[in-house]
Amino acid sequence: ETGVTQSPTHLIKTRGQQVTLRCSSQSGHNTVSWYQQALGQGPQFIFQYYREEENGRGNFPPRFSGLQFPNYSSELNVNALELDDSALYLCASSFTPDRAQNEKLFFGSGTQLSVL
Amino acid sequence: KQEVTQIPAALSVPEGENLVLNCSFTDSAIYNLQWFRQDPGKGLTSLLLIQSSQREQTSGRLNASLDKSSGRSTLYIAASQPGDSATYLCAVIRDTPLVFGKGTRLSVIA
């Protein structure tokens, strides 16, 4: 158990809909990262939040957006869902004393999103 | 752009065998390298983290080595068990968050 919890565990949406995924960080962690993992692939970095501000973004379109709250929990929002958005979405938390990226990440169990 | 490659993509071994999983990365200027285990449809479990200044880390039957200059890491699993069956991912970190390989899918046959 990493202490990182994600909800929901599974979700089915139709193309064009919007979805919100949630992540609760491990206690004491101030940084949250989101990853997308397509079947048979390694996770791909979507973005990271450090102390409620975006601190890096991967190669994902603006319809992927996020938030980090004062308690360091986080949301991933995806608008205008496409079939290719079907994937496992992973949240990871860590404690970083500054914006450095060299701290150990702890992952949640993920949300499996299916877009029909 | 950092790229991480894992070989082999899949591996099947009989129970009790020792095995090595390989990971290579193109940019050697990394802060650390992490090995993860992933069961089907599940999240990632961190196995070992090697800081850039270290050469290896051990945890139980697992040993991970890091050779930054050659851009390589290996994960050694001793006396494999059926419960070790999973996908093993390596990931490196530098200025951007973790860059992952596609993983090695390991099957240990009883």
Chain segment A43-65, per-residue pLDDT in tens: 999 999 988 899 889 999 999 99
Give the whole-angstrom CA distance, residue A15 versus residue A112. Answer: 15
CB A63 within 8 A of CB A80: yes
Q: How far apart are the first and last CA of chain A?
A: 32
Q: Do B96 and A56 touch (CB under 8 A)?
A: yes
A-chain residues within 8 Å CB-CB of B42?
Answer: 109-110
Alpha-carbon gap: B68 to the closest alpha carbon of chain A (Å): 15
> Please, which pLDDT band fits residue A34 given cuts at 50, 70 and 90?
very high
CB A93 within 8 A of CB A29: yes
Report residue B70 CA to chain centroid gap: 16
Q: Nearest residue of A to residue B49 by CA position? A: A104
Q: Do A40 and B95 touch (CB under 8 A)?
A: no
Sole residue written with tokens 């800081």: B51
The model's pLDDT over B8-49, given as tens digits with 9 standing for 90+, comes to: 999 999 999 999 999 999 988 888 899 999 998 888 999 999
The model's pLDDT over B40-86, given as tens digits with 9 standing for 90+, comes to: 888 899 999 998 889 999 999 999 999 999 999 999 999 999 999 99
A-chain residues within 8 Å CB-CB of B102?
Answer: 40-42
The model's pLDDT over A70-84, given as tens digits with 9 standing for 90+, comes to: 888 999 999 999 999
Q: Which of B31, B43, B103 sits opposite A101 (nearest CB)?
A: B31
CB B25 within 8 A of CB B71: yes
Phi, psi of B66, deg, nearest 5: -135, 125
Q: Tell me the mean pLDDT in the region A16-38.
A: 93
The pairing of strands A19-24 and A31-37 is unpaired
Give the whole-angstrom CA distance, residue A59 versus residue A37. Answer: 14
Nearest Cα to Cα of residue B6 among B51, A105, A106, B20: B20
Give the whole-angstrom CA distance, residue A8 versus residue B13. Answer: 36
Q: What is the DSSP letter of A64?
A: E
Instruction: Tell me which amino acid residue A44 is.
Output: Q
Q: Which of A42, A101, A106 sits opposite B93 (nearest CB)?
A: A101
What pLDDT does A43 receive?
95
